[in-house]
Each structure stands twice: as structure tokens, then as C-alpha cells.
Chains A and B, each alone.
Chain A
Amino acid sequence: MAPILELRGVKAFYGQSEVVHGIDVAVEEGGMTVLLGANGAGKTTTLRAICGMVRSEGEIRFAGQQLERRTTEQIAGLGVAHVPEGRGTFMALSVEENLRLGGYTRARRPDADMQRMYGYFPILAARRQQQAGSLSGGEQQMLAIARALMMSPRLLVLDEPSFGLAPRIVEEIFNIVDRIRREEHVSVLLVEQNANLALELADHAYLLETGYVVTSGSAKALADDPQIRRSYLGY
């Protein structure tokens, strides 16, 4: 099957300085791909390049369309839902308003989609009128994922969903993401520090170091690689 997202020789820049040096990454349709690597490896920057948030060179193809030189909002309109670093919650708005905003690009009324999200995340239904800023970290992450899914995206891009959360919550969120991937037929591109959990759920993995892809392959192969085990999995 053709990949839904394909990066070829992608370089990404902050101002004048090149942070990602020509990487190739692919996400299979319906699959989950994870980008691993230490801080400063260029994982977040790669995600930003995909969504037009930083200057980039090279080829980025999504579902047969070129993404480079499109604006962030156009890329969202094509069906790329990006949950950014820090979750991008609209803190002063209610949970329900956050979800409505997620459905902005959809022509139809968001109510049915919202009910489906409440099905995945019942806690959000209980908090629907609350200000998003008053939610706990885990609840905010759930809200961020639900908001992204309101777009009915073809690709869900998650930037470190485990950041700052308790292990039990992280596991819960990852299991829901996995379920959503299968039930909503959405492909997932994940950046994650928690390599153990990520490799368990993902089918493909890339290891980034200082802006280069140093290893890639099936998640299972990477999980079994002794060097990766030592450096990133800690056993």
C-alpha cells in the first residue's frame, strides 16, 4: 500500500539555521509510525515542517498532494490533524468549544462527532461545560486528541502525548489512540520519548539523532536492536 505521508530529503530551518538535514520518512495508510530520539534530535521540528509551521525544503507528499508551500490552515483542511507540543488547548474556552473548534473545517454540524468523542473519552463529556484550563494534564491531552479527531483527519500527528503525565494515564491514552486508529481508519505519526510504549503500539519507527535519521525499520526490529535497547529502552 502506498504511504499516506511521505517525506523525501526534507530539511527544516529555524530562521537561518538548518535543524533537520534531509530526512526520508513514510507513514503507511492506517499505520502508526513513531519518531524516536533524544531532545534536540529534530523530531518536533519534523512535525512542524509537515504542517508548514517552519521553513522547509524537500518533498512532503500527503495523500497524493504536495504540502510544501501550503499554509498551516490549508494543510489542516486537507486532513492533517496536529496536536502540537504543549497540546494547543484553548484554555479560556470550554471543553465543548474546544471540540467545536476542532470541527471548524467540517461543513456539517459537529454534534454527532462530538458525541463520538465523548464515547472515547467519557471524562470529557462530564467536563463539557468546564473551562479547558481547569482540566488535569491527562484530561487536557485527551481533549487535544479529541479536538484533533473532530476534523475527521486522515493523519493524526501527535507530539509527545505522554509529556508530563503519570505512566498509568499515558498507557490509557495510548490504548485509546490505538483503538481510534483502528476504528476511525486514521493513520498516526507519533513523536515520543517513551520508546517502550511507542514501539509496542507502532508498526514503523525512525530513530533521529541531531537532525538525521540514523536507523529505521519495523517497530519490532528496532525494539529488538540491542544498541537501541541500551540507549533508548533502558534494558
Chain B
Amino acid sequence: MHELLQQIFSGLAAGAVYASVALALVMIYRATDLVNFAQGEMAMFSTYIAWSLVTVGLPFWAAFLITLAASFIGGMAIERIIIRPVENAPVLAAVIVTIGLGLIFNSLAGWIYSYTVQDFPSPFPDRPLFGALITTQELGVIGVTLVMLLLLFLFFRFTKTGLAMRAAAQNPLSARLCGIPVGRMLAIGWGLAAAIGATAGIMVAPVLFLDPYMMSGVLLYAFAGALLGGISSPVGALVGGVIVGITENLVGTYLIPTQLKLTVALALIILVLVFRPNGLFGTAVVHRV
């Protein structure tokens, strides 16, 4: 029983990270109908930025905040420079662009920081808590994720820009007629998604260790989470991410060898696509002709 609870809590911590990346995917999908395959590599690159800042001697949380700001600006720049030109291109072309973008970030990270695995500092001392049910690291990851979600919720719910972003995602034409600069809203969306991804990367790096491939597995789990929740639903992404995290941990502990854990994500993706293509919280998209 104790081990089961332990596994659930560490699944919850992993799930928080998957949920964050899933949320970033959903945000971009809702705004631009585009799945950003570069989300993981963008997050990985952000984590390297944080790593450089910590390595040159900045305190962890300062490095964290600077990285978030840099990622936000970087995400906006990516939307403006790389995504905007393919905005009206067929969706496959745009998807290929994001895959290419992921490769670029991967190679860039390898070129600048080398492919050697790096140790990443954790702001949370790795101490067991509550009779070894959960570690401070896990609790910290969950806490940071919750704070980030709360801030996002407040932003989207109560600010003028947050409301305008929701409107632009829902009905871009009508948003334009209200005078909302839809292009700028999309850029902000990419910026936020990049910052969310950066948070996830920094939170998971002390556990996974940092190398240019660190986020590839995480991205797959996040996809599974986003699909499970319904790719168009932010709440779904969060619930889906957490379910995937817990499932992955339990299945990996009790049913299959750890090396095969990633197949859980694939199996889940296939199951969802076959039996419930809209996910748990998603709505069927109906296009009027």
C-alpha cells in the first residue's frame, strides 16, 4: 500500500510536468489549429539557458525567472518569424515547419552545449517527506506547477489581454472586427506556451538530467495527455497529463519493465484515437461547409 501511494505521488509529479507541456500544446492548437512538434525541444533549449545562468553563478530562482522571460520573448519571435509565413499554408506544411524547428533547436543545443549529459541543480533538497510518501523534489514540482496554473487562470480570466486572446482563438474574424490585433495575440500565445514549456523543462531536468534529447519522451507523454483530455481543452490537457503520469508510473512499476514505459504513451495515444477521438473533455469539431 505504501509503495502504491509512493508511486502515485511520483506519478503526480511527473504528471504535473506532462500536464504543463500538454497545456502548452493545447494553447497553440486552439489558437492556430496547429500541433507544435517543437514544443519539447523549445523547452529543452530553455532549460539549457537556465542551466547556463545557474552555471555562471546566478541563484536558481533568478535564473528561473530570467529563463521564463527569455522563453516568452523567444516564443513570440518564433511565431512572428517562422510560423506567421506559413499561417495560411496547408496544415501539413505548417506541421513540417514545427518538426524542422524542433530539429534546429536540438542541433543548436548540441552544437552550443554538446550532447554530454549534464547534471541540473534542483532548488528543492531531495528529502523524503511524510514517511517517505513523497519527496520534497516531487512536492516542489507539483507546487510550482500549481502556482503557474493559478497565474495562467487569473491571466485568462481577469485581464483584458487574456480575454482578447480567448476571443482571438475562438473567432479570429470577429475579434478583428472588435479591433483586437489577432496576430499579436497569437504571438503572445506562443510566448506563453514557450514559458510554460520552460517551466516544465526546468522542473523535470534534475530528475531526467539535461541533454538535447531530454524532452523527447516528455513530449510523447504530453501528447498522450493532451489527446486523452481532448486536444482542444485546457482542462483536459491538465487532467490527461496527470492521468498519463500516474498510469506510466504504476504500469512501469507493476506490469512492465521500466525500459518499455514509453510504450504506455503510444498505447494510450492509439487507444484514445480508436475509442474516443475527442478525448475526455474535447468537443467534436464541426466545420460548416
Contact = CB atoms under 8 A, between A and B. Distances in A.
Interface residues of B, number: 17
Contacts of B160: 100, 104
A92 interface: yes
Interface of B: 160, 163-164, 166-167, 170-171, 173-182
Contact of A97 (B163, B173, B179): B163
Looking at chain A's contact residues, the main secondary structure is loop
B170 A92 contact: yes
10 contacts: A53-B173, A53-B176, A76-B176, A88-B173, A88-B177, A89-B171, A89-B174, A90-B171, A97-B163, A101-B178
B177 A104 contact: no
B170 A91 contact: yes
Contacts of B166: 90, 93, 97
Contact of A101 (B173, B175, B181): B175
A51 to B, nearest CB: 7
A104 B174 contact: no
Contacts of B182: 73
Nearest to B172: A72
A142 to B, nearest CB: 16
B18 to A, nearest CB: 26
Interface residues of A, number: 24
A84 B179 contact: no
Contacts of B178: 76, 101-102, 104-105, 147, 151
A56 B180 CA distance: 22
B190 to A, nearest CB: 19
Contacts of B179: 73, 76-77, 104-105, 151
A73 B175 CA distance: 8
Interface in A86-140: 88-93, 97, 100-102, 104-105
